[in-house]
C-alpha cells in the first residue's frame, strides 16, 4: 500500500529508473576493467542508461501537475515559492557531493578555475566532455527546466497556448538532434523534450479529460510495443549488434508508464512494495553517489562481476543512506517548516502529487 498520499506506481517507476541507471553504470564500469568483446549480458545492461529519460518524464509530470493545478484554481503561479522549494530540495545534496568531489580534485592537484561552472549548473554547455561528476549533466537539464517552465506556464493564459508551447518544446529538440546528428546529447536545448512531454501529459490530464481517456486506453498498447522493442534491442546487444531506439521512443514508453499511475486504485495504491519504496526514497542520493561508489569498487582489485556488483551496491546504499539522513532529511524538514506557516493550494498539490526525485528528487 502507498504511504499517505504517495502514488505507489510513481514510486515503483522511480525505483526502476535508478536501478536501470545503476546497472548500466556498473556493467559499463566492469567492462572497462575486463574487456571481453561485444555482446553478452553486460552489453544488454547498457540499455538501462535510458532510465534517465524516465526520470525526465516523471519530473515533467509531477511539476506539471503541481503548477497547472495551481494555475487552474487560482489563475496564477507562485514562481518564487516553486523555485525556492525546488532549490531547497535539490541543491543541498548536490552541493554536498560537489564540494567533496572538488576537495578531492584540489588535493590531487587537478582543480581548475572552470570547475566553478558546476556551481551554476552550466557544465553541460561549458565542457564537451565533463571532466568529473559526469552524471550531473542530467541535473543541469532539470534545474534549467525549473527556471523555464514555471514562468512559461504563468505567462501563457489560455490552455491552448500552453499546449502549443509544450508541443514546440518537444518538437524543437527532436529536430535539433536530427540536424546536428547527435542521438544522445546532454545540452538542454537538445534534450528537454522528455521533461516537456511529462508536462504535456499533466496538461492533458488536468485540462483535457476526454483526451486523457484516450491516453489511458492507448497506454497499455504503447507499453507492450515499447517493451517489445526493448526486448529486441536486448537480444541484438547480447549478440553484439548495437542497435538503438531513438530518444523519442524512450520518452513515449516512459510517458505510457506514467499514465498508468492514474488509471485505477491498484496502480495508485498497491503497485509497489517496501523495497521499491525504500529505493525510491533514496533515489536522488543513490544517483549522486553511485559513480564514486563504482570508483571505490574498481580499486578493490580484480574480481568476478557478481563480487564487483555486490561491493558497488553495498557502498552505494551506505553512502546514499548517509547523504539522505544527514543532508536530504534536514533540508526537507527545514523546507516544510518554512512553508507550514501558510496553507495554500500549491502546498497541498505538492503533497498530493508527490514531489520528484531527480534523476531524479523529491
Structure confidence at residue 342 as a pLDDT band (50, 70, 90) = low
Judged against a pLDDT cut of 70, whether residue 4 lies above it is answered with no
pLDDT at 244: 84
b/e sequence 148-165, b meaning 16+ C-beta within 10 Å: ebbebbbebeeeeebbeb
The half-sphere exposure of 254 on its side-chain side, counting CA atoms within 13 A, is 32
Sign (positive/negative) of CA torsion 152, 8, 329, 101?
negative
Structure confidence at residue 161 as a pLDDT band (50, 70, 90) = very high
Judged against a pLDDT cut of 60, whether residue 353 lies above it is answered with no
Whole-number percent of the chain with pLDDT over 70? 91
**Among the listed residues 326, 324, 328, the one whose alpha carbon sits nearest the alpha carbon of residue 89:** 328
When pLDDT is averaged across residues 138-148 and rounded to a whole number, the result is 97
Judged against a pLDDT cut of 80, whether residue 352 lies above it is answered with no
206-210: long-range contacts (C-beta < 8 A, 24 or more apart)?
Answer: 206/65, 206/68, 206/69, 206/72, 207/68, 207/72, 207/159, 207/162, 208/159
pLDDT at 259: 97
When pLDDT is averaged across residues 145-162 and rounded to a whole number, the result is 96
Structure confidence at residue 360 as a pLDDT band (50, 70, 90) = very low
Q: What angle do CA 353, 355, 358 make, to 5 degrees?
A: 140
Structure confidence at residue 302 as a pLDDT band (50, 70, 90) = low
Judged against a pLDDT cut of 50, whether residue 184 lies above it is answered with yes
User: Which is more confident, 287 or 361?
Assistant: 287
For residue 360, the cross-strand partners are 358
Mean pLDDT of the chain: 90
Residue 133 burial class via C-beta count within 10 angstroms: exposed 0-12, middle 13-18, buried 19 and up: buried
Judged against a pLDDT cut of 70, whether residue 351 lies above it is answered with no
- Kindly compute the dihedral angle of the four CA atoms of residues 224, 230, 235, 241, in this order, to the nearest 10 degrees: 140
When pLDDT is averaged across residues 169-188 and rounded to a whole number, the result is 93
pLDDT at 241: 84
When pLDDT is averaged across residues 163-167 and rounded to a whole number, the result is 98
Structure confidence at residue 300 as a pLDDT band (50, 70, 90) = confident
Helix ranges restricted to H, 156-273? 159-180, 188-191, 193-207, 209-238, 247-259, 265-269
When pLDDT is averaged across residues 168-193 and rounded to a whole number, the result is 94
Per residue in 305-331, pLDDT tens?
A: 888 999 999 999 999 999 999 999 999
Judged against a pLDDT cut of 80, whether residue 358 lies above it is answered with no
Structure confidence at residue 33 as a pLDDT band (50, 70, 90) = confident
Judged against a pLDDT cut of 50, whether residue 3 lies above it is answered with no
Q: Which residues lie below 8 Å from residue 92, measured CB to CB, with a gap of 6+?
A: 327, 328, 331
- Euclidean distance between the first and the last CA atom of the chain, given in angstroms as a whole number: 19
pLDDT at 339: 78
pLDDT at 359: 43
When pLDDT is averaged across residues 158-163 and rounded to a whole number, the result is 96
When pLDDT is averaged across residues 14-34 and rounded to a whole number, the result is 92
When pLDDT is averaged across residues 87-113 and rounded to a whole number, the result is 95
**Rounded to whole angstroms, how far apart are CA atoms 198 and 253?**
11
pLDDT at 348: 43
Per residue in 51-65, pLDDT tens?
A: 999 999 999 999 999
How far is residue 293 from each of residues 258, 290, 296, 320, 358, measured CA to CA in Å? 30, 5, 5, 10, 19
When pLDDT is averaged across residues 241-262 and rounded to a whole number, the result is 93
Contact 250, 50 (CB under 8 A): yes
**Rounded to whole angstroms, how far apart are CA atoms 80 and 60?**
18
**Rounded to whole angstroms, how far apart are CA atoms 325 and 323?**
6
Amino acid at each position: 500500500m502507498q504511504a499517505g498520499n504517495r502514488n505507489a506506481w510513481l514510486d515503483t517507476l522511480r525505483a526502476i529508473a535508478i536501478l536501470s541507471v545503476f546497472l548500466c553504470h556498473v556493467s559499463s564500469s566492469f567492462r572497462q576493467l575486463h574487456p571481453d568483446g561485444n555482446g553478452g549480458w553486460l552489453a544488454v545492461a547498457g540499455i538501462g542508461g535510458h532510465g534517465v529519460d524516465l526520470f525526465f518524464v516523471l519530473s515533467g509530470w509531477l511539476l506539471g501537475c503541481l503548477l497547472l493545478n495551481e494555475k487552474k484554481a487560482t489563475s496564477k503561479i507562485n514562481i518564487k515559492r516553486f523555485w525556492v522549494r525546488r532549490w531547497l530540495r535539490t541543491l543541498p545534496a548536490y552541493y554536498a557531493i560537489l564540494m567533496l568531489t572538488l576537495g578531492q580534485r584540489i588535493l590531487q592537484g587537478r582543480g581548475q578555475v572552470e570547475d566553478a561552472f558546476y556551481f551554476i549548473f552550466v557544465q553541460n554547455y561549458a565542457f564537451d566532455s565533463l571532466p568529473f561528476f559526469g552524471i550531473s549533466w542530467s541535473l543541469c537539464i532539470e534545474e534549467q527546466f525549473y527556471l523555464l517552465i514555471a514562468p512559461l506556464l504563468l505567462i501563457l493564459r489560455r490552455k491552448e497556448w500552453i499546449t502549443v508551447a509544450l508541443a514546440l518544446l518537444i518538437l524543437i529538440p527532436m529536430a535539433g538532434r536530427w540536424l546536428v546528428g547527435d542521438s544522445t546529447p546532454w545540452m538542454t536545448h537538445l534534450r528537454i523534450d522528455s521533461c516537456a512531454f511529462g508536462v504535456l501529459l499533466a496538461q492533458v490530464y488536468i485540462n483535457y479529460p476526454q483526451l486523457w481517456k484516450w491516453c489511458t486506453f492507448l497506454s497499455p498498447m504503447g507499453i507492450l510495443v515499447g517493451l517489445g522493442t526493448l526486448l529486441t534491442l536486448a537480444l541484438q546487444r547480447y549478440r553484439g549488434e548495437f542497435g538503438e531506439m531513438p530518444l523519442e521512443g524512450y520518452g513515449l514508453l516512459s510517458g505510457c508508464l506514467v499514465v498508468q499511475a492514474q488509471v485505477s486504485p491498484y496502480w495508485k495504491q498497491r503497485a509497489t512494495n517496501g523495497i521499491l519504496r525504500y529505493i525510491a526514497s533514496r533515489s536522488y542520493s543513490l544517483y549522486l553517489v553511485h559513480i564514486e561508489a563504482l570508483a571505490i569498487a574498481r580499486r578493490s582489485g580484480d574480481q568476478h562481476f557478481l563480487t564487483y556488483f555486490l561491493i558497488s551496491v553495498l557502498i552505494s546504499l551506505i553512502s546514499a543512506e548517509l547523504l539522505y539522513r544527514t543532508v536530504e532529511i534536514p533540508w526537507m524538514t527545514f523546507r516544510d517548516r518554512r512553508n507550514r506557516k501558510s496553507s495554500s493550494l500549491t502546498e497541498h498539490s505538492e503533497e498530493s502529487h508527490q514531489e520528484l526525485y531527480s534523476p531524479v528528487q523529491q
